[in-house]
């Protein structure tokens, strides 16, 4: 019964793509930069977002 | 060309023929929409039946996502291509698993269009004119699909490393962006597909053994791996020095005090690059761990309050955060160690791509290259039908 339920369950597909950019910074920086700068650059973060505290044992 | 030689070269049997067929199928499907005109960013999917054989993998159906973005350009450009492994994340085993039916291929083709009305027939003409660029990229995506078929399970951290490296903008600073581009090139995911991409270019350019060296020395992928082989930390620093004004601007744009000396500025931007990459990795891993949670109440609680550090998931998360930020006390060592990896990968890949010589046609003995004969024959047959 359990197997049957599991079989009926739809797999939770994620839609991540392995994207290969075809305008590379080494090929044509001016074009690459023009495309990049069409979107605002994110602000530079100056601190680590996560403090590394190992969980208590 | 014997099958075992092709495999040693990293080019699965029939992948180049399959790339050619996929290219033709795609053009044919798009031609059905040749009256379509686009004037704003668009995204659409086309699905079609096919028969692509790559070693033991048989692809019977293709789902192609076409993405069109209008940008400040005067001509149509290829923006990128992609492959979707259709992952589901198993957070109990901390792996991403491709559970898809491998007979179905999910690819994406992204184009930049000039800011005016663009007709599909123009897009098709562009895809035909740029065949020597587009076909090797399609073969590259097919190799990603084949590698995924051979190894459908990947550690979550593998997805995080690849995803963050390929997307990291490096604050728009050229030498830093190029460093992260090299990091992306040096990933296993990319090095596995590169020989196929170069082999596709070589066959398209009809290169024989006498022409091989010249082809190789001018091939963009080979040249990039040669740069990786010889790249040094001093090169990175010197390139950053040449771009010091851009770095100062980017720091000021983010309200960060600009240090006095160039050396201090460079050390600071390298440290900030490392901090931002580490943060991106932490964010992505957290996203994967929470989005993969099957218990919807727990997922909601984690979304609101974070992952419980006492849980197995929390322990895994913090263990990997420690790994991501292991150079926290000396971020320059991150760059130095990655550059050692570049040198190793660059040398290995340059040698591997050089071995494609075996696939080039022998001008004295055309019988020596069975792959090429099959390729030519199949295209001749297609023209006859």
Contact B94, B156 (CB under 8 A): yes
Q: How far is A21 from chain B (nearest CA, A)?
A: 4
Query: Same domain for B228 and B354?
Result: yes
Query: Same domain for B118 and B159?
Result: no
Q: How confident is the model at residue A6 (pLDDT cuts 50, 70, 90)?
A: very low
Cα separation, B17 vs B21, in Å, equals 6
| Greatest distance between any 2 Cα atoms in chain B | 72
B140 part of a folded domain: no
Query: Same domain for B164 and B93?
Result: no
Query: Same domain for B117 and B168?
Result: no
Cα separation, A36 vs B71, in Å, equals 10
What are B107's strand-pairing partners?
A: B64, B83
Mean pLDDT of B201-226: 94
Q: How confident is the model at residue B240 (pLDDT cuts 50, 70, 90)?
A: very high
pLDDT value at position A4?
A: 35
Mean pLDDT of B312-338: 94
Contact B321, B202 (CB under 8 A): no
Q: Which of B189, B248, B278 to probe by mutation at the A interface, max A CB count within 10 Å?
A: B278
Q: Which of B163, B181, B279 comes nearest A48 by C-beta?
A: B279
Query: Same domain for B210 and B355?
Result: yes
> In chain A, what residues touch B89 (CB-CB under 8 Å)?
14
B245 part of a folded domain: yes
B175 part of a folded domain: yes
> In chain A, what residues touch B181 (CB-CB under 8 Å)?
24-26
Query: Same domain for B117 and B176?
Result: no
Mean pLDDT of B253-266: 96
pLDDT value at position A12?
A: 43
Tokens found for residue B198: 């170069």
**Smallest CA–CA distance from B111 into chain A, residue:** A22
pLDDT at B229 over 50: yes
Query: Same domain for B332 and B276?
Result: yes
> In chain B, what residues touch A31 (CB-CB under 8 Å)?
73, 77
Helix (H, G, I), strand (E, B) or coil at A50: coil
pLDDT value at position A10?
A: 42
B144 part of a folded domain: no
> In chain B, what residues touch A36 (CB-CB under 8 Å)?
169, 172
Mean pLDDT of B340-344: 97
Instruction: Tally the domains of chain B.
Output: 2
Helix (H, G, I), strand (E, B) or coil at B261: coil
Query: Same domain for B121 and B195?
Result: no
Q: At what angle do helices A29-36 and B174-185 cross, to 10 degrees?
A: 100
B145 part of a folded domain: no
B4 part of a folded domain: no
Q: How far is B329 from chain A (nearest CA, A)?
A: 12
Cα separation, A52 vs B235, in Å, equals 32
pLDDT value at position A32?
A: 86
Cα separation, B385 vs B377, in Å, equals 13
Query: Same domain for B207 and B95?
Result: no
Query: Same domain for B119 and B32?
Result: yes
Query: Same domain for B280 and B358?
Result: yes
pTM for this prediction: 0.87
B146 part of a folded domain: no
Q: How confident is the model at residue B3 (pLDDT cuts 50, 70, 90)?
A: low
Contact B191, B349 (CB under 8 A): yes
Mean pLDDT of A34-45: 83
Query: Same domain for B340 and B379?
Result: yes
Q: Looking up tokens 């994207």, which residue turns up?
A: A19
B142 part of a folded domain: no
- Interface confidence (ipTM) of the complex: 0.80
Q: Which of A5, A10, A22, A33 to probe by mutation at the B interface, max B CB count within 10 Å?
A: A22
Dump pLDDT digits (tens) for A14-25.
Answer: 547 788 888 889
Q: How far is A9 from chain B (nearest CA, A)?
A: 12
Among residues of chain B, what percentage have pLDDT more than 70?
A: 92
What CA–CA distances, in Å, run from B361 to B45, B185, B211, B357?
38, 28, 10, 9
pLDDT value at position B371?
A: 57
The domain of B158 spans: 152-385
Dump pLDDT digits (tens) for B60-107.
Answer: 999 999 999 998 889 999 999 999 988 888 888 999 888 778 999 999
Cα separation, B30 vs B367, in Å, equals 37
| Greatest distance between any 2 Cα atoms in chain A | 61
């Amino acid at each position: 019964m359990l197997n049957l339920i599991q079989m009926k369950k739809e797999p939770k597909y994620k839609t991540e793509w392995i994207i290969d950019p075809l305008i590379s910074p080494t090929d044509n920086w001016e074009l690459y930069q023009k495309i990049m700068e069409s979107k605002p650059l994110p602000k530079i973060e100056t601190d680590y977002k996560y403090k590394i505290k190992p969980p208590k044992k | 060309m014997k099958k075992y030689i092709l495999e040693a070269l990293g080019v699965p049997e029939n992948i180049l023929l399959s790339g050619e067929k996929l290219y033709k199928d795609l053009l044919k499907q798009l031609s059905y929409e040749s009256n379509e005109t686009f004037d704003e960013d668009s995204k659409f999917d086309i699905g079609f039946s096919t028969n692509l054989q790559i070693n033991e993998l048989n692809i019977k159906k293709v789902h192609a996502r076409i993405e069109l973005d209008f940008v400040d350009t005067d001509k149509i450009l290829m923006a990128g291509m992609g492959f979707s492994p259709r992952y589901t994340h198993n957070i109990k085993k901390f792996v991403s698993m491709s559970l898809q039916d491998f007979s179905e291929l999910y690819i994406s083709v992204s184009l930049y269009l000039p800011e005016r009305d663009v007709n599909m027939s123009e897009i098709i003409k562009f895809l035909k004119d740029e065949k020597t660029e587009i076909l090797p990229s399609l073969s590259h995506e097919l190799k990603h699909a084949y590698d995924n078929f051979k190894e459908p399970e990947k550690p979550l951290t593998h997805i995080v490393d690849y995803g963050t490296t390929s997307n990291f903008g490096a604050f728009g600073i050229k030498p830093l962006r190029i460093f992260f581009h090299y990091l992306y090139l040096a990933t296993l995911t990319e090095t596995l597909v590169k020989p196929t991409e170069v082999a596709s270019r070589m066959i398209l350019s009809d290169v024989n053994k006498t022409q091989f060296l010249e082809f190789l020395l001018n091939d963009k992928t080979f040249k990039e791996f040669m740069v990786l082989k010889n790249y040094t930390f001093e090169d990175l620093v010197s390139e950053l020095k040449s771009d010091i004004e851009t770095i100062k601007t980017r720091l000021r744009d983010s309200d960060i005090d600009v240090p006095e000396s160039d050396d201090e500025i460079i050390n600071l931007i390298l440290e900030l690059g490392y901090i931002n990459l580490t943060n991106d990795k932490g964010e992505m891993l957290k996203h994967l761990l929470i989005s993969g949670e099957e218990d919807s109440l727990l997922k909601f609680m984690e979304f609101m309050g974070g992952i419980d550090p006492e849980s197995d998931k929390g322990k895994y998360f913090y263990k990997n955060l420690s790994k991501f930020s292991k150079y926290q006390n000396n971020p320059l060592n991150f760059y130095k160690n990655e550059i050692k990896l570049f040198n190793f990968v660059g040398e290995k890949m340059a040698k591997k791509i050089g071995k494609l010589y075996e696939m080039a046609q022998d001008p004295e003995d055309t019988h020596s290259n069975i792959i090429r004969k099959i390729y030519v024959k199949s295209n001749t047959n297609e023209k006859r039908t």
